[in-house]
Amino acid sequence: MRLVYSLLWYLLLPALLLRLWWRGRREPAYRVRWRERLALGLAPRACKDSIWVHAVSVGETLAAEALIESLLRQYPGLPVVLTTTSYAASRQVQQRFADRVIHVYCPWDTPDALRRFFAAFQPRLILLMETELWPNMIALAALRSVPVVLVNGRLSARTFAGYRRVPALTAPMLAGVSRLLVQSSADAQRFRTLGAPPTAVEITGSIKFDTDLTAVRPIAVQLRTDWSGRPVWIAASTHRGEDEQVLAAHHRIRQVCPDALLVLVPRHPERFARVAALVTESGFRVARRSLDEAVTAQTDVYLGDTMGELLALFGACDVAFVGGSLVPAGGHNLLEPAAWGLPVVTGPRLENFERIAALLTQAEALTRVSDAGSLAEAVTVLLSDATLRQRQGAAAAEVVAANTGALVRTLAAVSDQLLLSGLSSRTRSSST
């Protein structure tokens, strides 16, 4: 079955390269490092005994940051190779880690590209974030006796159903994963049903609960001061098709709260310019963070068109709507606004955050909406009722506090795996 899978990859390569070229029309960076997708042009033996962390996009990269910082601190003798697939994630890596990690785009899952990648970076441990399971990558790792650990693992019902359609590919792939550190008992059961060895599956919780606000708190406080105490709501990680609904809702909200400020943060940086134009077309006056434009009494919308600042922006707001949920994108991280003690509003499409949404719903900290009208109504009620807002926000913060600790458990499991691989003692002795 894996042979057929590999042949399909090779047949798709021309289309994938064409897609990169097409995306490069709007975001030229996609055309600059395309060779990395085939693991071409990598220096032979670029490093030795690396830890390879794969985090597909911005969300997974953000989730992995605390883990990577801990690895860099505890194992200074082991280089960390961090791969992503999106340009937005690569920018996030560069801003957060600079040259402390080696960043390349993840090679496509073809045998020859992976052989070149392994030859260049000689990974001794592979950490895959959330659902990034690739049959050829895992098979080659097994062939070379490189342990693979799934970190913060999750399986939505939709993804689970997809894997069940190809058991001949899925079961051998999961058998090649040394440890599956998953978020919930539901995720654990789904992985076991698909063929993961029961002893390899461990419930460690979601590391997204372990949100550290220390570094961004001063930024949030300064922003709040600059905004002169206006009622502020944020629409975060919005997708195409959501921005229009958010702006329509803002028109309605301002009929009741005329001084309300909307902080709009699109999910993908290649859309920043288009969303700025959309805000203007909707009749609003916009200030752009990327241009360091100040919010005045006349500003209607503050566009968060920078990378890596969403957590700080949450902290300057009163109410949070989390996007990717009014369109079929599966939702985005609900825990960042919850950690700030904000009431959270979301759409119905939450396939990627089922458990977290359930916890927040049970605590009466999450409001679900279905369109611009219900979004406007929910935000208006929360902005107008300080007692309700504080009660829901406190409940959200309590959910986060009650579920912390996943990062510590994950680090312990990774350290155990490094010890089993003989790398832990070697790097510590080399750094002393």
Q: What is the DSSP string of 300-314?
A: -EEE--SSS-HHHHH
Cα–Cα distance list, 1 to 79, 167, 197, 235 (Å): 34, 9, 20, 44
Report d(CA 153, CA 206) in Å as an integer.
8
* Tokens linked to 42: 């990598």
Burial of residue 200, with CB atoms counted within 10 A of its CB: 0-12 exposed, 13-18 middle, 19 or more buried: middle
* Tokens linked to 317: 């707001």
* Tokens linked to 17: 């390269």
Report d(CA 89, CA 105) in Å as an integer.
10
Catalytic option among 60, 65, 242, 354: 60
* Tokens linked to 200: 């390899």
Report d(CA 135, CA 121) in Å as an integer.
19
Report d(CA 362, CA 128) in Å as an integer.
30
From the list 24, 29, 179, the residue with the least C-alpha distance to 93 is 29
From the list 156, 137, 177, the residue with the least C-alpha distance to 357 is 156
Secondary structure element (H or E) that encloses residue 202, with its range:
strand 201-203
Judge contact between 276 and 238, C-beta under 8 A.
Answer: no
Beta bridge partners of 127: 53, 149
* Tokens linked to 220: 């949030």
Cα–Cα distance list, 164 to 2, 167, 245 (Å): 15, 6, 35
Secondary structure element (H or E) that encloses residue 129, with its range:
strand 123-129
Helix, strand and coil percent figures for the chain, each rounded to 5: 55, 15, 30
Secondary structure element (H or E) that encloses residue 153, with its range:
strand 148-153
* 398 is known as an active-site residue: no
Annotated catalytic residues are 60
